[in-house]
Structure 1
């Protein structure tokens, strides 16, 4: 029988109390267990941390890993970033010979693919951070005062635009060649889903989302 230890994480005390984020993770995990698990299974433990993804002090993750090492159970998470937002931390877990890892949203991914995904996600966060800082600096140079209700809204809009542009750049290497080859929007969305590339909200691609990405890339 396949044994699992389930680990979930949310970033703030508010999310931990309200269940925001945890319910979505639980849904992903239950979907994996019901549709992508090919043998009878049992869940030995469910461990949850309410901490930032950059915080390395994770008592519940440590407990989950301890149970995996002791019992041979597989550590199951909904998304890779629930383990950590640091590729070094994720790599250390994957390199542990006593720990097997499965990610619900990437049910067929092997260790190599998970490592690449973690590295790309870290690069994306660094790029988004740099793009956001550049956008805010440009707004400031134009005389936009980043304070008060109206200015706070403008600041949020700048950040949203910068983040959207960064995400578009990330998939440009896949989307543009396919579009130039005459592939329809729906087929490009299918290709992105097959490659395991998630949308900004961690979901599946649709033709309308591909169209928005192409529009952003064309307006560069």
Structure 2
């Protein structure tokens, strides 16, 4: 029997209280167990943190890792960044011969591929951060007023964001699994269009649309 310790993480207490993000993680974990795990399987324990992925000293993660190593069971997470957003920390876990862990959304990825994916994701996050700061500085220089939505439009913007979140969760496994093996954003868009999946606004997918959703998923 293959035995697992399941670990999930959200970044804020609001997400933890509402279930935002947790439902998607639990769904992906269940899909992995039912479709990619050896049979029979058993989940021996579940741990959950409400902490930033940049922190490596999360208490529940420590408990999950300790149990996985001491009981010779597999640590299972929905996405690689649920473990950490730090390449150094993930590399440390990958080098630990006493620890075996799997990523539900990348069921066939070996340790070498996971390391590469973590490094690429870290580079992309760094680039996105710099690009966002540069765009804000340019907007400020042009005299654009920054600082949020007008109150009268709040409900409209909330509805758009919630619908985008629902679409992001629905296509999460497809986008992340394809990206993990190097599929381009445009190729993923073509596949989603062929499957008849619509965007949050009811339109067709483009490479830039998939890229935006991938960024949304990584930040969730």
| TM > 0.5 fold call | yes
Q: Which has the higher contact order (CA 8 A, sep 6+)?
A: 2
Shift of 1:196: 5.6
Matching of residues 1-220 of structure 1 within 5 Å: 1-147=1-147, 149=149, 192=178, 195=181, 206-207=192-193, 208-212=204-208
1:198 and 1:135 map into 2 onto residues whose CA distance is 25
Taking a change above 3 Å as real, the CA distance of residues 58 and 147 of structure 1, as seen in their structure-2 partners, is closer
Unaligned stretches of 5+ residues in structure 1: 154-188
Q: Runs in 1 of length 4+ with deviation above 6 angstroms? A: none
After superposition, what is the alpha-carbon deviation per residue over 1:118-166, rounded to whole angstroms, capped at 9, x for unaligned? Answer: 001000100000100110111111121324645xx9xxxxxxxxxxxxx
SS at match of 1:206: helix
After superposition, what is the alpha-carbon deviation per residue over 1:44-95, rounded to whole angstroms, capped at 9, x for unaligned? Answer: 1100001111122211100000011111101100000000111111111111
The size of the alignment, in residue pairs, is: 175
**Structure of larger gyration radius:** 1
Taking a change above 3 Å as real, the CA distance of residues 211 and 111 of structure 1, as seen in their structure-2 partners, is closer
Please, what TM-score do these two structures have when normalized by structure 1?
A: 0.71
Shift of 1:14: 1.0
1:100 and 1:63 map into 2 onto residues whose CA distance is 15
Taking a change above 3 Å as real, the CA distance of residues 148 and 76 of structure 1, as seen in their structure-2 partners, is closer
Taking a change above 3 Å as real, the CA distance of residues 43 and 205 of structure 1, as seen in their structure-2 partners, is same
After superposition, what is the alpha-carbon deviation per residue over 1:166-219, rounded to whole angstroms, capped at 9, x for unaligned? Answer: xxxxxxxxxxxxxxxxxxxxxxx9x946826597xxx996244345469x9xxx
Whether the aligned pair in 2 keeps the contact of 1:192 and 1:205 (CA below 8 Å) is no
